[in-house]
C-alpha cells in the first residue's frame, strides 16, 4: 500500500530543545509545522541533560511563550566558583559581564514546558515515529517519509529542519556535502542526580590531581554532580559509595562539607567536540546537536541549539513574509560564527580543568591559567562573558 500524503510548511525532525523551540517560534508567526520524534513523550521528558541557561536563551524561551514556570522555579546565579590547589575562588559573572546572569533550570523542564505548550495548542507533534528519511532536498518540494502507528506517510513541505541530535538521520543524509571537524577526549563524565540540597550556593568547577569534578544543582532539594572518569568506564564499576568517596576527595575543603543524598539517576557522558560545515544543504537545515557538539564543561550545548533555531526562525519568517531568502542562504554562516566561539570556549574550559594525562607540564600550564583567571580582571572577564553567553547581537557584529 502507498504512503498517505500530508503537507505542512516546515517539517521538524526531533523533539529536543532545538526542534520544539523552533516549532513554538514559528507557530507564534503563523507558520505551520509538524514535529516528528522517534522516542516516546515520557523518554524525551525524563532524559537528564543540561542545567544552565544563558540569559539570551531565557529571553528566547520567554518570547516563545514558555517562560512562566522557568521564571517561577529557575534559580538565577550571578557567579561560579573555580577550585584548584585546595582553594575556592568566586568568579563574579554578572559584575564582569554587564550585569548578565545565568538561570539554573533543567533541560528536562524546558522540554516539558515546550511539549505542554504545543499539545495544549492542539498542534501536531508525533512521538514514536519510525523509518524517518528525507527526500528531494534540492527541489522546492522536499519531503519526509516516516511510519507512525503502522501507517506510512509522506510529508511534503517547503523546508526540513534536522533537529534530530548527534545520532539522527538528517546529517548522514547530506554527509557527502559536508566537511566535519572533530576531536575526541580520552575521558568522560560520570553524572549523578542526588536527593540532596546543593552543598554550594553556586556551581563549583574543580581542578584536582585525581580529575575534574563539578557541583551543580537542579532545585533547592536536588544536587547534580559530575566526576571525570575514563572514556571506557563502566557504570557498574561505580557503586554509590565509590562516587561519594571520590567526590569528597576531589572537592572537600576545610570547614566545608559536601551534602550526600540518595542517588536518583546516574550516567556516563562521552566528551567530544564536533562541527559540521555548512549546516544546510538545499532545503534541509541542521540545528543543535545534529550540526555540532561541545564537551559540557562550558555549559553551551543547549544554548547553542536555542541560538541556532532563533536564527533559523527569523530567516524562515522573513522568507514567508517578504519572499526574502537571504537569511536562509546565510543561516549556516551566521550560526557558525557563534558555534566556533562556543567550541573554543568549551575546549578551553575542558582542557584547563581536566587531568589530561601523565605529563606534569600540562598540569603546570593549567594551574598557571587558573591562577591568572582569579588574579586578573581581564582574564576573568574573558571567562565570564563567554560563560554567560555573548549577546545575540554579537552575530551581526562578528559576521561583518
Which residues of the chain form contacts with ligand RFL (CB under 6 A)? 13-19, 36-39, 44, 49-52, 107, 129, 132, 163-165, 168-169, 189, 191, 269, 288-289, 296, 299-303, 305
By CB under 6 A, is residue 103 in contact with ligand PHB?
no
CB of 294 to ligand PHB, least distance (A): 10
Report the residue number, 27 or 88, with the smaller CB distance to ligand PHB: 88
Residues carrying an active site annotation: 77, 205, 296, 300, 387
By CB under 6 A, is residue 297 in contact with ligand PHB?
yes
Cβ pair 303, 58 in contact under 8 A:
no
By CB under 6 A, is residue 52 in contact with ligand PHB?
yes
Q: Which does 295 bind (CB under 5 to 8 A by kind): ligand PHB, ligand RFL, none?
A: none
By CB under 6 A, is residue 51 in contact with ligand PHB?
yes
By CB under 6 A, is residue 66 in contact with ligand PHB?
no
In a 13 Å sphere around the CA of 145, the CA atoms on its Cβ side amount to: 10
By CB under 6 A, is residue 216 in contact with ligand PHB?
yes
Q: Which does 224 bind (CB under 5 to 8 A by kind): ligand RFL, ligand PHB, none?
A: ligand PHB
CB of 116 to ligand PHB, least distance (A): 22
Q: What are phi and psi of 128, to 5 degrees?
A: 70, 30
Place of cell 521528558: 45
Q: What angle do CA 338, 343, 348 make, to 5 degrees?
A: 130
Kindly calculate the radius of gyration of the chain based on its CA atoms and give it in whole angstroms: 22
Report the residue number, 290 or 303, with the smaller CB distance to ligand PHB: 303
Judged by CB under 6 A, the stretch of 49-57, 114-122, 165-173, 366-374 that binds ligand PHB is 49-57
By CB under 6 A, is residue 207 in contact with ligand PHB?
no
CB of 397 to ligand RFL, least distance (A): 22
Torsion of CA 63, 65, 67, 72, to 10 degrees: 140
Give the one residue of 25, 31, 293, 299 binding ligand PHB; rule: CB under 6 A: 299
Place of cell 536555542: 306
By CB under 6 A, is residue 50 in contact with ligand PHB?
yes
Judged by CB under 6 A, the stretch of 13-21, 48-56, 71-79, 122-130 that binds ligand PHB is 48-56
DSSP calls for 188-256? EEEEEEEES--SSSS-EEE--TT--EEEEEEETTEEEEEEEEETT--GGG--HHHHHHHHHHHH-BTTB
CA gap 131, 193 in Å, rounded: 33
Within residues 335-394, the interface with ligand PHB by CB under 6 A covers none
In the three-class reduction of DSSP (H, G, I as helix; E, B as strand; rest coil), residue 159 is classed as: strand
CA gap 185, 294 in Å, rounded: 11
Cβ pair 327, 275 in contact under 8 A:
no
By CB under 6 A, is residue 224 in contact with ligand PHB?
yes
What is the strand order of the sheet 130-135 is part of? 4-7, 151-156, 143-148, 130-135
By CB under 6 A, is residue 296 in contact with ligand PHB?
yes
Within residues 262-291, the interface with ligand PHB by CB under 6 A covers none
By CB under 6 A, is residue 228 in contact with ligand PHB?
no
87: left (phi over 0), alpha (psi -120 to 50) or beta: beta
Q: Which does 390 bind (CB under 5 to 8 A by kind): ligand RFL, ligand PHB, none?
A: none
C-alpha cell at 14: 526531533
By CB under 6 A, is residue 307 in contact with ligand PHB?
no
Q: Which does 297 bind (CB under 5 to 8 A by kind): ligand PHB, ligand RFL, none?
A: ligand PHB
Q: What are phi and psi of 354, to 5 degrees?
A: -95, 155
Q: Tally the residues of the chain.
A: 400
Q: Which residues bind ligand PHB (CB under 6 A)?
A: 50-52, 203, 216, 224, 296-297, 299
Amino acid at each position: 500500500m502507498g504512503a498517505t500524503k500530508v503537507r505542512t510548511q516546515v517539517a521538524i525532525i526531533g523533539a529536543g530543545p532545538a526542534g520544539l523551540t523552533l516549532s513554538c517560534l514559528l507557530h507564534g508567526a503563523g507558520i505551520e509545522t509538524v514535529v516528528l520524534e522517534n522516542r516516546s513523550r515520557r523518554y524525551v521528558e525524563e532524559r537528564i541533560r543540561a542545567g544552565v541557561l544563558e540569559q539570551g536563551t531565557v529571553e528566547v524561551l520567554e518570547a516563545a511563550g514558555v517562560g512562566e514556570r522557568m521564571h517561577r522555579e529557575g534559580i538565577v546565579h550571578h557567579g561560579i566558583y573555580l577550585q584548584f590547589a585546595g582553594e575556592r575562588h568566586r568568579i563574579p559573572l554578572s559584575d564582569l559581564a554587564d550585569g548578565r546572569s545565568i538561570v539554573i533550570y533543567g533541560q528536562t523542564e524546558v522540554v516539558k514546558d515546550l511539549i505542554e505548550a504545543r499539545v495544549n495548542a492542539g498542534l501536531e507533534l508525533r512521538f514514536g515515529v519510525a523509518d524517518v528519511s528525507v527526500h528531494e532536498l534540492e527541489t522546492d518540494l522536499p519531503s519526509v517519509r516516516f511510519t507512525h502507528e503502522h501507517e506510512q506517510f509522506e510529508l511534503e513541505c517547503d523546508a526540513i529542519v534536522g533537529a534530530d541530535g548527534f545520532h539522527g538521520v538528517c546529517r548522514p543524509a547530506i554527509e557527502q556535502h559536508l566537511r566535519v571537524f572533530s576531536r575526541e577526549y580520552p575521558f568522560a563524565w560520570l553524572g549523578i542526580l542526588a536527593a540532596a540540597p546543593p552543598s554550594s550556593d553556586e556551581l563549583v568547577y574543580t581542578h584536582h590531581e585525581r580529575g575534574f569534578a563539578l557541583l551543580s544543582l537542579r532545585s533547592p532539594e536536588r544536587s547534580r554532580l559530575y566526576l571525570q572518569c575514563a572514556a571506557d568506564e563502566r557504570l557498574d564499576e561505580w557503586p554509590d559509595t565509590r562516587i561519594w568517596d571520590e567526590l569528597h576527595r576531589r572537592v572537600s575543603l576545610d570547614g566545608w562539607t559536601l551534602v550526600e543524598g540518595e542517588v536518583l539517576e546516574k550516567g556516563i557522558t562521552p566528551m567530544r567536540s564536533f562541527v559540521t560545515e555548512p549546516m544546510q544543504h538545499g532545503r534541509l537545515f541542521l540545528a543543535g546537536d545534529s550540526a555540532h557538539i561541545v564537551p559540557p564543561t562550558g555549559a553551551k550545548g543547549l544554548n547553542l541549539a536555542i541560538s541556532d533555531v532563533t536564527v533559523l526562525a527569523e530567516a524562515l519568517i522573513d522568507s514567508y513574509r517578504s519572499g526574502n531568502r537571504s537569511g536562509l542562504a546565510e543561516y549556516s554562516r551566521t550560526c557558525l560564527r557563534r558555534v566556533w566561539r562556543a567550541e573554543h570556549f568549551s575546549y578551553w574550559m575542558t582542557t584547563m580543568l581536566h587531568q589530561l594525562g601523565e605529563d606534569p607540564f600540562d598540569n603546570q600550564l593549567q594551574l598557571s591559567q587558573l591562577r591568572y583567571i582569579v588574579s586578573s580582571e581581564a582574564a576573568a572577564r574573558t571567562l565570564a562573558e563567554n560563560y554567560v553567553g555573548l549577546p545575540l547581537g554579537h552575530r551581526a557584529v562578528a559576521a561583518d
